[in-house]
Chain A
Amino acid sequence: MRTPLLEVTGVNKSFPGTHALKDVSFELLPGEIHALMGENGAGKSTLMHLLSGVYAPDSGEIRIDGHPVMLRSPRQAQAHGIGMVFQELSLAPGLSIAENVYPNRAPTRPGGTIAWGSLYRQTRELLAQFEIDVDPRTLVRDLNITTRQIVEIVKALSLDARMLLLDEPTSALPPNEVERLFDVLRRLKARGIGIVYISHRIPEVMAIADRVTILRDGQRVGTHPIGAVTPDDIIEQMVGRKIADLYPARADSFGQELLRVEGLSHERDFSGISFTLRRGEIVGVAGLMGARRSELLRALVGVNKTTSGTIAISGSPVRIQSPEHAFALGMAYLPEERKTDGLFLKMPLRQNISATALRDFARLGLMSARKEAAVTQAYVERLHIRTPGVNQLVGRLSGGNQQKVMLSKWLVRQPKILIIDEPTKGVDVGAKVEIHALLRELARQGAGILFVSSEFPEIIGLADRILVMVEGRLVGEIPAGQATEQNLMLLSSGYTAREPAAGG
């Protein structure tokens, strides 16, 4: 048995009001990719922060190469060979790759000036180890997101890291690029580097990890070799109960047409978009990064201006000027970025819920806190929003609960047409299932739903009909049941663009 690179035994960590980690143990072997999974709030981030020296454990022990260590700061963690790559990329976009990889540590000539030649050479060598053929002088802002992620990893390695902590490394990557990252991870593995891999995405974990440790409510539920578990086992252990179906049953009939879009074009984002949406129907828009799906949604609700084409709602042509106008016509739009575009994080739950329909919560021009509280409470119960109360600041809720608040906020207007950009972004499995069920329920009650998702399984599982978009054009339409990840991928990459409506 090899000595583990990293061994955590019986650690506890409490914050005011929560016992974030309870007696958790964890180990990482050389050359192992060890996935860490759990719902939001299960304690994954806290464990990561202990390993990276941001927090100290209340009790328990951390050993590196068999020796107990105290990690008092990120710098000490680095000195022990622990490298971190966090969700938010921490690169400086205006600097070159080389300057980002060696911040503050660039090789210098006597006199303290930077030895640019050897800086670029060293960086090129590091990149070459991963067969990445990019000039180290390239500015980070000119790199695509996957290459940035890899540069981030290279940066951690340049500090002689023997252990890497990766927090949701694929969350920002387009599906066709994930394999590139995996390729880098496999090379690291072959060099004996241990990787802790946090992710919500079960298929990726099944594909790349050697073992998986599952946390729930701050406790370790189990550690398993990846070959010994099924995706269902993992979900069950994360959620703590059996989940019968990830996706609700589809509808078998639809009502009349709600939305008809014909030849909609934008000056540069998209052109010639035509489709329809009926009552009770859920339509998914699939595509890769750069397909301009979000731009299309934003144009539908009047955020972006279109140059030509027509939109008809329930048969009558409309010219949508602004989100305000779109709402008045019975549409609701849930943006992708809940923090920057969707929620008022510093405001209480009830005031977030009332924001889209202030008129309904006011009498004689005065806001009714009581009505806000009552309506909010009803949504809290209906959507199982976990919150201490309706006056909680939304910024303090977990991601999944924030997503549910955002949904409630627009449901208050009882829209006929729901337009949703990434309905379950950054949400854990349990909340995902609830949101899917809720969307299906809304459709059953007569709403039409148009959504965009970067996760093919979600589109396949939830949609009644799938539109595929490539570089601003609709290239295909696939009915539910005939879609597979393979044919979506193919269409999305533009391979069969010449033959729309590919039937299977």
Chain B
Amino acid sequence: MYSFSYHRPASVAEAADLIANAADGKLVAGGQTLLPTMKHRLASPSDVIDLGAIAELGGIVVNGNIVTIGAMTSHAEVAASGEVQEAIPALAALAGNIGDPAVRNRGTIGGSIANNDPAADYPAALIALGATVRTNRREIAGEDFFAGMFETALEEDEIIVAVDFPRPEAAAYMKFENPASRYAIVGVFIARTADGARAAFTGATDCAHRAHRLEEALANDFSPAALADFQAPVDRMNADIHASAEYRAHLVRVMAQRAVAACA
């Protein structure tokens, strides 16, 4: 790892000042992606601004039908939260199956979505549940937040504060995981809401996206059988040593059917 200057601000405002004034600064949340990337020398920031001491970025609050999760909330905290388990059990289950227990103790929701790994789990949940990302400047719809591989709508010096999740009628996330990394080879998140079915997939293409065609297929018949003939576009699927494009297209349908079944 190349050397850098380390900062540990106590407030979002202070962190925003630090990142704005750094030559090539990086915010670090749990560091479970950034530190390995820096060890490989694929990233070499001049300044690392650790968000770990900022109390206002933590915590889980349920207010009516909105579950608010602070950006620095760890995957382990979301998985173990009675409030999340009650309001959106699929979200608690998703968080409890990211990486491994030690990674879940450090990794955070804010770090995960800001990184936007093409195979990350949380992005699919934000899109399908119609979540809203709140930053120190504005609110961004989950659907508009994920822009491409490791790209988001965030400005260089913008800081995620929290994510608001509306409570669905039912939801489920199914992923076919890489057995070593637990990243999704394909993951599909399905939510049944008052406005109809919402769906998103991850791991299949450049990053998580809303699955409009899955939603249309479920519009009149919210059942696994409604997806029996569903074909994901093979030419848009990722292909790598873990799975071919054809296999990923197949997995989109199978994971979607399982997620719909689990919503029942």
Bound pair: A and B? Answer: no
Q: Which residues does B use to contact A, with CB under 8 Å?
A: none
